[in-house]
Structures are given as C-alpha cells and as structure tokens.
Amino acid sequence: MALPRNMGETTLLLAQQLIRYDSVSSTSNESVSQWVADRLTAIGFEIEWITYRDSQGVLKVNVVAKRKPSSQKIRAGEGGVCYLAHTDVVPADDWSVDFCGPFEAVVRDNRLWGRGSCDMKGSLACALAAVAAIAVEEQTAPIYFVVTSDEEVGMDGAKCVDRKSAIFQEMVERNVVGIVGEPTELNVVYAHKGGASMRIVARGKSAHSSTRDGINANHQLIPILPLLLELRNECESNISLHNHDFDPPTLSWNTVLRNEPFATNVTPSLAEAAVFLRCMPSVDHRPLMKRVELEALRMGLEFSQREGLPFSVQRDAPHVRELLSMTSKKDPITVCYATDAGVLQRLSQLVICGPGSIEQAHRSDEFISLEQLQRGTALYEKVFRRWATPMGSTGVTLDRS
C-alpha cells in the first residue's frame, strides 16, 4: 500500500529509528530517551528529564515535555493536550522472524517488523510525526509529551513522573486531555484492568535427598495452597467479584509455583507461590489479598505484594465522545491489560487510543501495519489540533469533572 508522501514516510522513518534502540526493560532506556528528547527539542519543546535507578541499579529515564503557545495566545488556566507512551520493550530472546532481527526494523508485506513496533514505538512515531506537522504559531494551548520507562515491568517510570514531574503537575492543574497511545487498533478505551500480585515464600535447606541434612521448603508452603485454590474458585463463582464491562468479567486469579533448586533428588531450599490478579474498577479484591497475607504470616511464611491500579473514566465523558467521533467508532471499549494510565489518573481526562493490535504486541514476530501507522499519525494530528489550536475552541466544551 502506498503511504501518502511526507506524513507516512516520516512516521515510518521515526518508528524505524526508535526500534533500532534495544530498550528491553532490563536495560537502560537512556539513549532512546535522549533521541526522543532531541526530536522534541528540535521542534520547540522544553524537556524535563526524570530519572531513577531501578532495583538492579540501572539508570531509567522519563521524558516529560511541553510546548507552550506564544504567550499572547495562551488560554489561561486550563486546557491543552498530552500524548503518553513508554520506550521500554519486552525481551526479544525468542524472536522468530527469519528475515530480520528484532532491532532491525525491516518493512515487508506492508508491515514494519521489530520488537516494539506495535508496543509502542510505532505509536510514539505517529505522535512525533503528527506534532511536527503543527506550527507553534498555531497553538493556543500547550501540547505535552510523557514518555516513560519500565511500563512493561511494574510502571515505576510513570510512578516517578507522578511523584516528581513539575510539568506533569501543571498538566493535572490545567486538566488537559491525555491520550495513552498503547495499541488498541485506534479503538477508544475508557477502562482497563489493573494487576495486583502476591508472593509467598518458604525457605528450607537444600541437600541430597538421600540424607537427613535438608529441610524441604515445600512442606512449609503446601499448607497455604488450599486457601489459594479456594479463593481462586471464589473469584470465579462469586458475582460480587465480577464486572461485566470486561471480558472475561473475572479477576483472572493466576497461581504460579516455583522451586529452587528443581531436581527430584535434591531437597528444595526455596518454595514460592505467586498469584496475579487483574483487578477491576468497582470490584474490591483487597479482602482476598488480606486473607492470604494473614494466613501466610500466621504460618511463618514471607509475604509481599504489589499493586497496579485499574483505570477508568466515564464511558460517556466529553473527551471520550469526541475521540469516538474523530475515530468514527460507535462505542468505547474496555481491555484486560494494564497501562501507565492506571498510575497517572490524577489526569482526569485520560483515554487509551493507539495504532496497532494488542494481538501483535509481545509476540516473537511483532509487527505493525503501515496502514495503522498512517491512520495513527492522522488521528494524533487531529487530536493535537482539537485540543491545542483555535480549531478546538469551536468544538464541544471541555469537561472539568
């Protein structure tokens, strides 16, 4: 398929450059972030550089950026628009495409192949190309970018932005419309599940199982397993733990077990049970976690938990309705995966809408179609114009709720 000259080509080139940075979550995203910051600086954005060290001591970078209109034109007090993305990608060790590697960004069959092409460097390229098509002189409200780290592994980047970024605070105060560009095939997503996890650990002592020297950690862990099964069954059968805005409507309780070492002639010194819950708006999963915590502590087991919040806005909120009309979609939808939106909900006018299908994300043959790149770019240009140029003042009034 032939892309329209300029916009489509620009987006594709930007996406290829982004993909060629190996920014798997376990590595530093500093260089790809620098590239994003340089692009934005070149078209008039000011940059806030939010960094931290992850649990392995690796430097992580979040780029928060703002481009103000010329001062005499600025709409005081509120308004503006933000595009949000992440630069980290999931590992590519199992990459299975035979005609290119995961970080080569090759085009074939009207698709751009590579790790992060769909989730979500293709989307980021669309937004960068779209904003470059708008002159600062056209703006009457600010345009913002938030580009985070570690979205794929606990969203610590977004948490850091929420805590530390002065520009993000300004966005909250201005009540800007925020578009999280995760792949939705340009459907408008008004709610998604979150992710809460628990980790229960028993420790023993490893030895050759023919001797009496070992202490088998499983024998301490096993007594809590019936409770995990009981609670999982409750998640399935108790309708007060269901939310039918989602498919499946359940918390998708998932129990995972692990031993170290794992050999039948060695007593394991470590036994671990982990549980992952996909928590939902209007379902309180915390009592379930509390029951596990109390029982684990009573049994002398180690217990830890992490919480990733679900996300939701009103399905008929004005910014949702407007985005529906821009995308020619009839109804907004929900999805069952989590995004930075759960963490950044101090922005009350958030929505998720991006090119590419989640079916292609995280796969060993990840790609995004060139058609989605083209549509994404066109949509984001409309979005920026709607909420940051005079075109916006003729549309539906922004909602403060």
Binding site for Zn ion (CB under 5 A): 119-120, 182
Q: What is the amino acid identity at position 393?
A: S
List alpha helices for 58-165, DSSP H. Answer: 122-132, 156-164
State which amino acid sits at residue 365. D
Characterize the bridge pairing of strands 177-180 and 349-352: parallel
Cross-strand bridge partners of residue 275: 198, 255
Select 120 or 378, whichever has its Cβ closest to Zn ion: 120
DSSP per-residue string spanning 246-310:
SSS-S---EEEEEEES--TTB--SEEEEEEEE---TT---HHHHHHHHHHHHHTT-EEEEEEE--
Please identify which residue in the block is written with the tokens 């916009």: 7
If the CB atoms of residues 48 and 182 are measured against Zn ion, the closer one turns out to be: 182
Neighbouring-strand partners of residue 51: 61
C-beta closer to Zn ion: residue 127 or 289:
127
**Closer Cβ to Zn ion, 119 or 150, answer by number:** 119
Is the Cβ–Cβ distance between 121 and 89 less than 8 Å? yes
The neighbour count for residue 256, using CB atoms within 10 Å, is: 11
In the bound state with Zn ion, the residue whose beta carbon lies nearer, of 32 and 241, is: 32
For the bound state, the minimum distance from the C-beta of residue 150 to Zn ion, rounded and expressed in Å, comes to: 11
In the complex, least distance from residue 86 CB atom to Zn ion, rounded to whole angstroms: 6
Neighbour tally for 205: CB within 10 Å: 12
Q: Which is nearer to Zn ion, 142 or 178 (CB)?
A: 178
Cβ-contact 59, 30 below 8 angstroms: yes
Cβ distance to Zn ion smaller for residue 69 or 356: 356
> What is the DSSP annotation of 162-177?
HHH-HHHHHHHHHT-E
Using the minimum distance from each CB to Zn ion, give the nearer residue, 182 or 185.
182
Smallest distance from Zn ion to CB 151, Å = 6
What is the closest distance, in whole angstroms, from the C-beta atom of residue 361 to Zn ion in the complex? 7
H-run or E-run covering 60:
strand 59-67
Give the nearest distance from C-beta 114 to Zn ion in angstroms.
14
- C-beta of residue 44 within 8 angstroms of C-beta of residue 162: no
- Of 23 and 267, nearer to Zn ion (C-beta) is 23
Least Å from the CB of residue 155 to Zn ion: 10
Q: Residue 208 forms beta bridges with which residues? A: 266
Nearest residue relative to Zn ion (C-beta): 119
The C-alpha angle with vertex 370 and arms to 367 and 96, in degrees rounded to 5, equals 20
Considering only CA atoms, which of 6, 1, 11 is closest in space to residue 374? 11
> Quick check: 19 and 116 in contact, CB under 8 A?
yes
For the CB of residue 327, give the shortest distance to Zn ion in the complex, in Å. Answer: 19
Shortest distance in whole angstroms from residue 364 CB to Zn ion = 17
Whether the Cβ atoms of residue 377 and residue 15 lie closer than 8 Å to each other:
no
- Compute the least distance from the CB of residue 85 to Zn ion, in Å: 8
Q: How far is the CB of 69 from Zn ion (least distance, A)?
A: 30
- Closer to Zn ion at the Cβ: 161 or 201? 161
Determine the 3-state secondary structure of 26 from DSSP.
coil
